[in-house]
Structure formats: C-alpha cells, structure tokens
Amino acid sequence: MSGDAWFTLDWSDEGVVLLDQRILPEEEKYLTLATVEDVAQAIETMVVRGAPAIGCTAALGVARAARVSGASDLAGLHADLEAARARLARTRPTAVNLFWALGRMAEVEAEAASEPGATVASVGEALLAEARAIVAADVEACRALGAAALPLVPEGSRILTHCNAGALATAGYGTALGVVRAAHDAGRGITVLADETRPFLQGARLTAWELDRDDIPVTVITDNMAGHLMRKGEIDLVVVGADRIAANGDVANKIGTYSVAVLAREHDIPFYVAAPTSTIDADTPDGDAIPIEERGREEVADFGGRPVLPSGVPVRHPAFDVTPAALVAAIVTERGVARAPYTESLAEQLRGA
Ligand code: MRU
C-alpha cells in the first residue's frame, strides 16, 4: 500500500526532526528535538535507530548544539560542542557510524575554527553544511551499494532479511533494503521474508511497514521459522545490514543475525552484508573487540506492552551479535562487492575513500 511521502530524519530551524519509530506502524508522528539532550535521549530510546541513521542524527545533533550554543567566542563554542559530542557518544556503543560521524564533526569544527576570520556563526554554518553532507552522502551510498549488489540477486530471488536495515535505519533507501529496492526497481521480481526480530520487532514493525509503503512484496515470519523455510528451499539468499564491521570482516548486527548466518551456511544459502564504508571500523581488528550493547529488561520481559514472564525472573538482553567473517559470502558497500579475505578487500575499499 503506497502512502504519503515520509522521511526518517531531517533538519529544521526548530530542531532535529525524527520520525518516531517506537510507534510505527500504528502512528506516523514526527518529533522536533530542540536540544542535544533531546537528541541523545531519542537515540537511546529508539525513536531513531539503525547504524547509519544514528550517525546522521548525531551529526545533526552537533549542528543543533552549535545553533543553540549562545557562546560569544570560539572557545565557548568549542566547550559546548565537546560536551555535545561526549553526550551523543554515550548513547549507544555498538554502531560505529555514531563515532564516525562525531569524529567528522570534530574535524570540521577544527577546520572551520582555524579559517581566518572564523566566528561562532561561521563555524556553526560549517557544521550544519557537514551534517547535511553526511545525510546526503548516506543516501547516495545506499543507492550505490544497491546497484553494486545487483549481480548477487538473481531473477525471482526470495530474500530473507533480519531487523530493519532500510530507509528507516539510514538517511533514506537503506542498506540491506537498498539491495532489495535496487533489485525490485531493476524488475528482478524479488520477494522478501522479514524476520520479526525479537525483542524490539524491527522486522515486523519497521521492515514490513516500509516495504509495504513501497509496494515491495514482504512476508513476516517469527525468528524461529527461518531454519524451517531454508530447509524447505524457500529462501534463496540472505541480506542483512551491519552496525560495525571489524577489519577482518567479522560483522556485528542485530541479535539473531549470527543464528541466521549459521543456518544459511548449513543450507548452502549465500549470506550477504550490505553497509556503507562508514560502518567499517579499521581500528577494531575482529569481532571480539566490538562492544556489544546490553539493553534494559523491559524490551525482553514485555511484549506489546504486557509482561510475558514472571516478574522476578532475570533476562539477558545483548542487543547485537557477531557473525564471523567465514560465514559471510560478500560485504557490499558503495564501493563495490568485497569478498574474503576481508582484511585485504575491506582495507582496499577504505583506501578508496
Ligand atoms: O538496535 P537497532 O535497531 O539500532 O539495530 C539496527 C540493526 O542492527 C541494523 O540491522 C543495522 O544497524 C544496520 S542499519 C542499516
């Protein structure tokens, strides 16, 4: 079902504008966040989520910090921007795009502040221009990686995806769903199976919503159905996004991704990862070094706002897992298709930066 145009994130003079992903698919509501604290809390509480979208939101948040700073000189502005970057960096630990974007914003501040005649206003303008450039580049990267993945997606493919790595998880178009969109637009006649993705249901609530809005055929399954459908020959390939890709090609992504990759290997189904190069972390040697966020009890202990386990029973809630590079058939970025050995192929992609 097609609907009105929607967007994941944007800038306005009143604040950072985000589609509230916590209440999709029931409600499409936009929040305008006027302070850095509001933006940080929006990231923490999953108003916005998905690695590239978190990075873009943080960049807009830093631009907002400059806009509302009130500092009278560059030293005062710098103090405000450092505080903003530190607060935003504390929101979620796994998605490396967050730290990548904050690093870019710090560089741009330093460059702009060292320009002859630099003022609080000129640095603020440079930061806003950079945040906008990060947002635009993210959409472009998603489109480019979708095009690069086309040779991997045969006619009529039945594609399994996990979590939401779509337009909602990026500035637009999506990574894993960028591959889906590109194949759909190329007339490949693909269909999508979306894991519901317990506990936060990004697959059921978000992937299904955005593909449905774009008239791309999607069917939702619970996470424990994937193995059965693979065994019956109903899945041709898997494509997922990533929150952080280590230098050796190990991939951190939404909890449950590793199980899907193991199942795919058992059934000889290619398992692809789609991500912009801003998700590759050359400073993290392998998956063991990736920090895995542990989230709160309620997302596991409640379902649809109702408790589903006895109140005294503890839960575990690692929000991500690591899929070893050996299970990954290819990593697709805006610079093309990287294959094993990933230490070399990913380094080559980063050199193309
Ligand atoms: O906890 P989330 O919803 O932020 O996790 C998102 C994912 O794991 C996505 O698959 C990943 O960020 C890729 S987004 C293009």
Please give the distance, rounded to the nearest whole angstrom, from the Cα atom of residue 79 to the centre of ligand 1. Answer: 31
Q: What is the pLDDT of residues 204-251, one digit of tens each?
A: 999 999 999 999 999 999 999 999 999 999 999 999 999 999 999 999
For ligand 1, is residue 64 a contact (CB within 6 Å)?
no
CA distance linking residue 15 with residue 59, whole number of Å:
12
Q: Is 243 a known active-site residue?
A: yes
CA distance linking residue 100 with residue 326, whole number of Å:
26
What 3-state DSSP class applies to 239? strand
Residue 1 pLDDT greater than 50, yes or no: no
For ligand 1, is residue 163 a contact (CB within 6 Å)?
yes
Would you state the pLDDT for residue 353?
62
Please give the distance, rounded to the nearest whole angstrom, from the Cα atom of residue 254 to the centre of ligand 1. Answer: 6
pTM, full prediction: 0.96
Residue ranges of alpha helices (H) inside the chain are 36-44, 51-67, 74-89, 96-113, 120-148, 176-185, 208-213, 226-231, 257-266, 298-301, 342-351
240 Cα distance to chain centroid: 10
Would you state the pLDDT for residue 156?
98
CA distance linking residue 204 with residue 162, whole number of Å:
10
Q: What is the pLDDT of residues 310-345, one digit of tens each?
A: 999 999 999 999 999 999 999 999 999 999 999 999
Residue 309 pLDDT greater than 70, yes or no: yes
For ligand 1, is residue 319 a contact (CB within 6 Å)?
yes
Atom of ligand 1 nearest to the CA of 202: 3
For ligand 1, is residue 333 a contact (CB within 6 Å)?
no
Mean local confidence (pLDDT), 7-26:
98
